[in-house]
Structure 1
Amino acid sequence: MRTSNYDKFPFVPVAKAEACQTGWAAIGAALRAALPAHATPGQPLVLAVECYPGTALGPLRQALTEALHPALCLVADDLYRAPADLDALVAGPLTDDPVFGRLNGLTVRDFLDPQKMQVAQATLAAATGQLVLVLGTGATLVCPSPTVLVYADLARWEIQLRQRRGDIANLGSDNFAEKASLKYKRAYFVDWRAADRLKKQTLPRADFLLDTNDPAAPKLIAGADLRAALAATVRRPFRVVPFFDPGPWGGQWMREHLDLPDGPPNYAWGFDCVLEENSLLLGFGAARVEIPSLDLVFAHPRELLGEAVHGRFGTEFPIRFDFLDTVGGGNLSLQVHPLTEYAFDKFGLSYTQDESYYMLDAAPGATVYLGLKEGAKLPAMLADLQRAQDDPAAPFLAAEYINEFPAHRHDHFLIPAGTIHCSGAGGMVLEISATPYIFTFKLWDWARLGLDGQPRPIHLAHGAANIQPDRTTAWVQQHLVNQVQEVARGEGWREERTGLHEREFIETRRHWFTGPVPHDTLGGVQVLNLVQGAEAVVESPTGAFEPYVVHYAETFIVPAAVGAYTIRPHGPAVGTECATMKAYVRT
């Protein structure tokens, strides 16, 4: 039997159980009690439920109607422009590329039909003294000042699962049957950007937060309790909720070492700290309220990120830790990331996806493909890549053009944008990178199909515009492979700088330790992973937060507001040498 102490459902304990209402009966009772207390004489009694795109409106409407018996129900989604008109509206930002679009300034208001809105708001104004339910994405645009405001939230991973099942369409669309990858693309470039703009205005004033991730067990907490929970979270170390996904090259290491379910054929990705994707669990006694991690970034960017990082990145979390598992699997796609200027010109990004591969583990014979071989001719390589794409019988011979370096546990390979690369089979990679996330140009996918049986998109033109031809063998060895330098040591610990490259804004430090190690955020957010040792404890020298135990391979965040903290071996790791990898933004 597999055993693992890796916590797949980490949570932040914030309040007692009575602060959370679970189930529609309890939620309805809480809302019925709140409405009269907030009523304004001569005005309609309005319960507005602002919904994140993907919320199941049918069950939500039915449950609230049965609980509250409103005289009138207005659904914001019924007030949108026609789907064909919205398709035309988003066509420019989406482009005709199957993967990439362009970031844009669309808002939820752009989806609403002005004439339908005028009629709905006139109907609402006439409902004096009556209870009116307004719900959907844009409910607070229909009624900007409701009697009671509820924000119905939903995690990004749950949205993706609903997209894959065909349960939901995109915002204002009827594309239920469209490929999940295209729904995701539209959500990434349009729906989520527009909804987040509205969320930033709405969530800080919400009277209640409604967790709609589990339709069978919805949960309601007061807005004041949510805000108190977020304020407490940014003053202590915490973890977000990881999720895992199979892929055509996926391996078996995570299944065995992290005790994952047996269902999928493999696990390719582990999203352990990608705040745009992961959720945050808040503990109310035994109940768990799940919210998108971005809610924390939006609410407390300065305390979480620090002044300098917030000043540079705004309400984006710029550091990403994730897992890439090819142990018992295959090579990742051969790929390259866009240069900064290309990312801005083509996609509207303010920064690009520089990254690195830290080898959490490696099977014998594991390799990493990185940089061009000395003497490799870029035009010839691109011609061979195109030929392989056009003719599956003529595979691309990567060994003729790309360096293949042996990969061992604790090796660190740096990958500034513009460097051709991929993890070979047999590697368990902790990927440490900037966060733009989807902007990877696949050059060659080893003549295989995706899990859907279809070829995955290849972006040779984008790749050709970004591959740096001078990043060849000698340069890569000198600048990108195991650039380890000891920078400090103390009793029972030593600190090493392992990169990243000077073109990258992320700094990484590895600490080896058998005793307590002093750390300090120095006013900027830090992300760490316990890369060796069964268990460690993070502590405040002043008792500012409760001791926080982390386990092997777990990624955790230390907000800027924490300041000084220590890490030492704990439990079964006492008496052994542990190691952490830490990343932070250079300032």
Structure 2
Amino acid sequence: MKHATYDKYPEVRIAGWENQAWSGWQAIQQALKTRLADAGKTVVVIDCYPGVRLEELREQLIDKLGPALLINAEAARLSENHLHDLLAQNLTDDRVFGVLSCHQLDEFFCPDRLDALRHEVDQAQGLVVVYGPGAALVHEGDILVYADLARWEIQQRFRTGELGNWGASNESEDVLRRYKRAFFIEWRVFDRHKTPLLKRADFLLDTNAADSPAMVSGEALRHGLQQTTQQPFRVVPFFDPGVWGGQWMKDKFDLDPAKPNYAWCFDCVPEENSLLLRFGDVRIEIPSQDLVLLYPRPLLGEKVHSRFGAEFPIRFDFLDTVGGQNLSFQVHPLTEYIQQHFGMHYTQDESYYMLEAEPGAEVYLGTRTGIDPQEMLDDLASAQRGEKAFDDEKFVNRFPARKHDHFLIPAGTVHCSGSGAMVLEISATPYIFTFKLWDWGRLGLDGLPRPVHLEHGAQVIDWQRDTAWVTEHLVNHFEPVADGDGWREERTGLHEREFIETRRHWFSKPVVHHTRGGVNVLNLVEGSEALVDSPTDAFEPFIVHYAETFIIPAAVGEYRISPYGSAAGQQLATMKAWVRG
């Protein structure tokens, strides 16, 4: 059955603010000119996320406003060499891993040059426009516009060679190194900078599509985000090919058939995904992280916010090896290792829930009982040097993988999915921290060897996770919890070392859930479609389709999920995750 009902562009419709959003440069110009009419001396600040096309912004908007004084805030930025020296400890020499930055944006600017720009603004008359990343460091703005950009779009611009890192002329540098600098430094610093700006911005400018901008008033944006925390919603999934990628998502989600495969889908990773807000005829795309940064408490709940801050700690994504190859053989760092080496305060515990599995599909999980750890490490090192293939049959357990199986993978457990599987990966969010131990001798799609981090992995493998331990603790731990008319609930994990609780609900009739003060993330793992509604009509009914991941903010409280449409009378299933109290 082809499930082409999967919505690749889910939107949150915001009612009552239709006249507060504009699309196209001409409408945006007019909206700002209306605001500027008869204003006397006015300072317009257009602060930007790194990667915004400043030339397009200047030519299509700023020049049309006719400023008496125009200042690019980047004139006060430190030189490329100065920035490199400042950031060297965070950048490291590694191709993939850096250290999370605690810098503030003003550290990247020359104080004397900032003061000189501020003096120019003070002395000017008429309309003054200050623009560029860090523009609000020059002046707080009589009118503040924030030009935003989704991280996935930034990555596409990295890949085409259009974009280097902020303050660096490195458009031709290895994409992984540019991504590393963005992940560990730029996005952290600019998220800190933009959060207070978004709380007071007069306008948000969506710059994701070239020559096709959209803008919304700050008041309407904040109202829209607040509304989003009171209802179920989805973020915008993105799909990516990979050397091991499969064909299942291409068929089931009606993706571009010209692509060779699809390996990943980030179906719920708010730090990376976009959020689409619909204001009448205007669609605004923002990083979904903006919602987390501005309204973490109603979204996450008090306990989750107190523990994680403005970070969304649960990740749902897809790994497709149907018609593809094995994932890389890998391990994730222990908590103390990720804290001490990378500055992250929690690690990537995870699990594999099997949405689909072909006959013969397997999951590699844990080491075989009785092996010599050093012998396995030596064998991996020989494989990495190209001397031989890693003898996985000798050292690693393989478990048959069937539809609806659930494999738990606490950090420190060696693992990978074999070919022929469609995995719903439920995990903690810091997904970049994967130590590849062996990649089956493959090159990446870029023709380069894929990074292997055996030296890191050797430090974190838990050798007690052997055949007997893994079988007892990590494979298909389904426990009945509750049942009612037409439904039953099962606890499926995760392991006690993991902070995420997961439950599976089978249902042919409505079943009531409750957030209990913490954010819930769910996926419809069986059945064509379901209806999510409020027993008290607190939010508009929300339809989800097979394999779609959706978020229930903590503030929602009670909600109900029912078979819907073509699924009426059928048995459906959801997988639900939340942070344990």
Give the TM bin, normalised by the shorter chain: over 0.9
2:568 corresponds in structure 1 to 574
* Residue 132 of structure 1: aligned partner: 128
Give the SS at the match of 1:483.
coil
* Structure-2 residue corresponding to 1:400: 394
The equivalent of 2:109 in structure 1 is 112
Tell me if 1:473 matches 2:467.
yes
Q: Aligned partners of 2:330 and 2:164: how far apart in 1?
A: 31
Q: 2:347 is matched with which residue? A: 352
Q: State whether structure 2 residue 46 is matched by structure 1 residue 45.
A: no
Greater mean deviation of Cα atoms: 326-335 or 18-27: 18-27
The structural deviation recorded for 1:295 is 0.7
Q: Which amino acid in the other structure matches residue 508 of structure 2?
A: T
The CA distance in 2 between the partners of 1:307 and 1:263, in whole Å, is 46
**Residue number in structure 2 paired with 1:439:** 433
Shift of residue 36 of structure 1? 4.1
Q: Which runs of 5 or more structure 1 residues have no equivalent in the other structure? A: none
CA distance in 1, matches of 2:142, 2:358: 60
| Range moving further from structure 2, 411-420 or 113-122 | 113-122
| 1:78 aligned residue (71, 75, 78) | 75
Write the distance in 1 (CA, Å) between the matches of 2:394 and 2:3.
42
Give the alignment's TM-score, normalised by structure 2. 0.98
Distance 1:351 1:532 in 2: 31
- Partner secondary structure for residue 297 of structure 1: helix
Q: Distance in 2 between matches of 1:263 and 1:528?
A: 31
Q: 2-side partners of 1:501 and 1:100: how far apart?
A: 27
Please show how residues 225-240 of structure 1 align to structure 2 within 5 Å: 225-240=220-235
User: Aligned partners of 1:482 and 1:287: how far apart in 2?
Assistant: 46
| Whole-angstrom distance in 1 between the partners of 2:357 and 2:75 | 53
Could you tell me which residue of structure 2 aligns to residue 279 of structure 1? 274
Counterpart position of 1:488: 482
1:428 matched to 2:425? The reply is no
Residue aligning to 1:559: 553
User: Would you say 1:312 and 2:307 are equivalent positions?
Assistant: yes
Q: Which residue of 2 aligns with 1:19?
A: 20
CA–CA separation in structure 2 for the residues paired with 1:343 and 1:541? 43
Match of 1:175 in 2: 170
Q: 1:516 matched to which residue of 2?
A: 510
1:9 paired to 2:6:
no
Partner of 1:338: 333
Instruction: Give the deviation of 1:115 after TM superposition.
Output: 2.2
CA-CA distance at 1:67 after TM superposition: 2.0
- Could you tell me how far 1:218 is from its partner in structure 2? 0.5
Distance apart, 1:200 and its partner CA: 1.1
**Aligned-pair CA distance for 1:376:** 1.3
Moved more, 377-386 or 100-109: 100-109
What is the CA distance between 1:383 and its match in structure 2?
Answer: 0.2
Residue 153 of structure 2 is aligned to residue 141 of structure 1 = no
How far the C-alpha of 1:355 sits from its partner, in A, is: 0.2
For 1:227 and 1:280, the matched residues in 2 are separated by: 13
SS state at 2:189 partner: helix
| Cα drift, residue 3 of structure 1 | 5.5
Read off the aligned partner of 1:133 and give its amino acid letter: V
Greater shift after overlay, 514-523 or 214-223? Answer: 214-223
8 Å contact from structure 2 (residues 145, 205) kept in 1: yes
Give the counterpart letter for 2:464 in structure 1.
D
Q: For 2:565, give the aligned amino acid.
A: G
Contact 2:22 2:282 in 1 (8 A): no
Which one-letter code corresponds to 1:524 in the other structure?
A: G
Q: Could you tell which deviates more after superposition, 215-224 or 366-375?
A: 215-224
Verify the 8 A CA contact 1:107 1:197 in the aligned structure 2: yes
The answer for unaligned runs of 5 or more in structure 2 is none
Are 1:21 and 1:27, in contact at CA under 8 Å, matched by a contact in 2?
Answer: yes
2:161 is the counterpart of 1:166: yes
Paired with 1:359 and 1:162, the residues of 2 have a C-alpha distance of 33
Give the drift of 1:90.
Answer: 1.1
Paired-residue identity, % = 59
CA distance in 1, matches of 2:147, 2:400: 49
Contact 1:29 1:67 in 2 (8 A): no
Aligned counterpart, 1:417: 411
* 8 Å contact kept, 1:538–1:567: yes
Deviation per CA, 1:120-153: give whole Å up to 9, x if none. Answer: 111111103x211111110000112x11000101
With the length of structure 1 as denominator, give the TM-score of the two structures: 0.97
How much has 1:299 moved relative to structure 2?
1.2
1:462 aligned to 456, 463, 480, which one?
A: 456
Amino acid at match of 2:7: D
Out of 85, 90, 102, the residue aligned to residue 88 of structure 1 is 85
Is the 2:3–2:528 Cα contact (8 Å) retained in structure 1? no
Query: Residue type of the partner of 2:495?
Result: H
SS of equivalent residue, structure 2 residue 181? helix
Counterpart of 1:157 in 2: which secondary structure?
helix
Say if 2:354 and 2:404, in contact at 8 Å, map to a contact too: yes
How far, CA to CA, are the matches of 1:286 and 1:569 in structure 2?
Answer: 31
Q: Which amino acid aligns with 2:390?
A: F
Please point out which of 99, 102, 116 is paired with 1:102.
99
> Separation in 2 of the partners of 1:419 and 1:3?
34
Deviation string for 1:383-426 (max 9, x for gaps)? 000011112x4111111100010000000000000000000000
Q: Distance in 1 between matches of 2:108 and 2:203?
A: 25
1:94 positional shift: 1.1
Q: Is the 8 A contact 1:35 1:147 kept in 2?
A: no
Asked if 1:60 is matched to 2:89, the reply is: no
* Structure 1, 407-416 or 103-112: larger mean CA deviation: 103-112
Aligned mates of 1:10, 1:286 — CA distance in 2: 15
Contact 1:355-1:432 within 8 A present in 2 as well? yes
Whichever residue aligns with residue 286 of structure 1, its letter is D
Task: Quote the RMSD (CA, aligned, Å).
Answer: 1.1
**Separation in 2 of the partners of 1:375 and 1:89?**
48
CA distance in 1, matches of 2:3, 2:95: 40
Alpha-carbon distance, 1:65 to partner: 2.9
Q: Following TM superposition, by how much is the alpha carbon of 1:2 offset from its aligned partner in structure 2, in angstroms?
A: 5.7
SS in 1 for 2:14: strand
- Local SS of the residue matching 1:7: coil
Deviation, structure 1 residue 264: 2.0
Comparing 201-210 with 103-112, greater Cα deviation is found at: 103-112
Aligned 8 A contact 1:525 1:559 in 2: yes
Contact kept in structure 2, 1:366 and 1:425, CA below 8 Å: yes
Deviation of 1:19 after TM superposition, in Å, equals 2.6
State the aligned residue count. Answer: 580
Question: What does residue 31 of structure 2 align with?
Answer: 30
